[in-house]
Amino acid sequence: MSDKKNVLCTGNSCRSQLMHGYLAQSLGDQATVYSAGIETHGVNPKAIQVMREDGVDISHHTSNHVDEYAAVSFDYVITVCDNAREACPVFPSSATKLHHNFPDPARATGTPDEIINQFRVVRDEVKAYAQDFTRRYFN
């Protein structure tokens, strides 16, 4: 059985990139982690910033469309927003499908400090989910 994971999020610029960063860090060589979306918008600079604050570099990540991975056989597909779950293409596999709807920090409003703090809140929620996923499926 392959250990490839797929993290899917509409836009593929923020929440799925956070998840990708934490899963790649915690799973190491146990898995190949991908992130993709049903749209591509580039990786959000604030997502890169808050991950860097937590010691994870996602600056090299790219925003990929799910169609790019159509030939990959996935073991897990994790959707991180309701829109991605509803619009996610059907992968022809027996992948375990998991879902959690994280708030979209890219939609945060307020002062620059309030906005970056919303990114940190979502980052911390994603980190906790990634740690739980790793414990549940890999330990």
Point out the residues that are catalytic.
9, 81, 88
Q: HSE-up of 80 (CA within 13 Å, CB side)?
A: 30
